[in-house]
A and B are shown apart, each in its own frame.
Chain A
Amino acid sequence: MSLLAARGVVVAYGGVRAVDGVSLDLEPGESLGLIGPNGAGKSSFLGALGGQIRLAEGSIALEGHEVGRLPAFKRARRGITRTFQMTSEFARMTVFENLVTAGHGAEGAALARVVLRRRETRRAERDVADRAWAVLDRFEMTHAADFYGAELSGGQRRLVEIMRCLMREPKVLLLDEPMVGVAPHLVAKLTSDLRSIQDDGIALVIVEHALEVVQDLCGRVIVMALGRPIATGTFDEVVADPEVQAAYVG
């Protein structure tokens, strides 16, 4: 049984099938790349996996349990979390607060718990803060703990999103173009951070236009064009595929 199994996923916008029958299997600690030209349906597929976009057909199972019809927040509680193409840091909260909010999650932030179980809430605050400091230390972002999201560079924002996801201790992390807006000399650092996350046993699905990042990180790659998967395999295998070359060149 795969950690994440998607079968025949279809996403439709009106009459247009933006994703048309895409499947995948993902194991813990595996990194899967989703590449393809603009408009291929990669982000829509990622949205279908994360619950941001409604599934028209198909199924998505996490550890054997169907999650394809669950809203995003319920999938997140089960272990699927994500970053977004446009950075999604909580801009008027500090980096530390971004992390702590994720660390508490829905259970820690529940109004009933906050009001009725105050001692437990205080203890959780301490525990989550310790975890947040540990994550900040790990990614060398301690110096930025008090910065607002809006005060960060593109690379820092990406890192905040990723750190925030890690505070949820996810099983699957979906990354939508994580290198967009990242200064070129920091791409290598972010790539190495993602590899270390993969080494923790977290499965990654990465939509990325920077093919060298995909080549570096992803053991397996799915190439999409016009909503359909046109090739699957290692990076070297898919780039050698004539259909893939035709899709990219036009």
Chain B
Amino acid sequence: MTAWSYYIATLTVYFGVDVLAALSVNLQFGFAGVVNFGFIVFQSVGAYIAAVVVLGPSSGTFQQYVFGARLPFGVALLLATAAGAVLSLAVGLFSLRNIRSDYQAAILLIISLIATQVVQGYVPLFNGSNGITGVPRPFGSLPLSLQGYEWAYAGWVLLFCAVAYALVTWLSRSPWGRALRAMRDQEDAAAALGLNVTALRLQVFVIGGAIAGLSGGLLVEYIGAWSPDAWGYAETFVIFTSIFVGGVGNYRGAVLGVLLVPIVFLELPRFLPQVGYPGLMDSMEWIAIGAIWMLCLYVRPQGILPERRNRARRASGKAAIPAEPAEQMEPA
């Protein structure tokens, strides 16, 4: 029972981190149409920053890194969030201006690949391929059992999820969120109505980047280590698959997608008998993730919970609209 409790608490932490990631990607892609194939870079910068600022100065022997400052974990989370936002701003200024959206996606994917190479190759930055280890866990002074600690941390992560969920939902329902959807649906028409689409794209990219940075910070403070192995570009596609399964442009769908894809689907093989050589099933998972994404696009591109139709109401509160389309003009 203890092992199960520990396992579920751990899964809950990962679920929460992935929910934050999915909220970020759904805001950017589902509402604004920004295809951030470099998502994992912004989560990773949050993780690295949160890791190095809570560690003391680098000794240069055991592991090398920048910014060692022994800051409290709360400050580290703030800095992780800020790092995600600042890097998003820098990357966004370069990649999101006057370029077609499919090219933007390609640029962001390339940036993701370059970032991995840079971090691996330039060891003094974040200790290269070996990554950062020994990151102190937060709430260490609390008198909690090992299991109690796991659940406390899971609650801490879910608290951030709730705040982020409320924030993105509120923003998406606002006139700003509507402008994002207009840009997503018809960029030229949105601009012809006075909307500065470059600024909108940049704003949503930075907000999404901040949430990504926060998610990275929360994860590294939990697992205590971060290395380039943890943030391959494929991780980004797991989040995208979650959103396509759950529902593009629907935050509840994004949460459901996370539950189904990175949690249920990726955990399921643990409970199945091993087939073939060791590692075969892990490799098959990645193939299956791609297959699920493609299947979704063919069978139900709107996902399990599609974007909701926002019905209009007159000020009197009475719906003025019949529920079903009553064709007055001939269909196109």
Binding site for B on A (CB under 8 A): 50-52, 71-74, 76-77, 81-82, 84, 88-94, 96-98, 100-102, 104-106, 108-111, 114, 121, 124-126, 129-130, 132-133, 140, 142-149, 151-157, 161, 164-165, 168, 181, 183, 186
Contacts and interface: CB of A to CB of B under 8 A. Distances in A.
A84 B189 CA distance: 8
Contact of A147 (B179, B184, B194, B325): B325
Interface of B: 171, 174-176, 178-179, 181-182, 184-186, 188-197, 203, 249, 307, 309-312, 314-315, 320-322, 325-332
Given A129-B312, A153-B331, A104 B320 contact: no
Given A88-B189, A93-B185, A101 B330 contact: no
Nearest to A81: B192
Given A81-B194, A153-B329, 17 more contacts: A51-B191, A52-B192, A73-B193, A84-B192, A88-B188, A89-B186, A90-B182, A92-B249, A94-B309, A101-B190, A102-B193, A111-B176, A143-B321, A143-B328, A146-B312, A151-B325, A168-B193
A151 B116 CA distance: 45
A151 B329 CA distance: 11
9 contacts: A76-B193, A81-B193, A84-B188, A97-B312, A100-B175, A109-B195, A133-B320, A145-B321, A151-B325
A220 B186 CA distance: 31
A234 B190 CA distance: 34
Contacts of B189: 84, 88-90, 161, 164
Contacts of A164: 189, 193
B176 A105 contact: no
Q: Mostly helix, strand, loop or mixed at chain B's interface?
A: loop
Closest 8 CB pairs of A and B: A88-B189, A96-B312, A109-B179, A76-B194, A90-B185, A154-B332, A153-B329, A104-B175
A73 B332 contact: no
Contact of B309 (A84, A109, A146): A146
A114 B194 contact: no
B309 A148 contact: yes
Contacts of A105: 193-195
Contact of A92 (B185, B194, B328, B332): B185
B290 to A, nearest CB: 25
A192 to B, nearest CB: 15
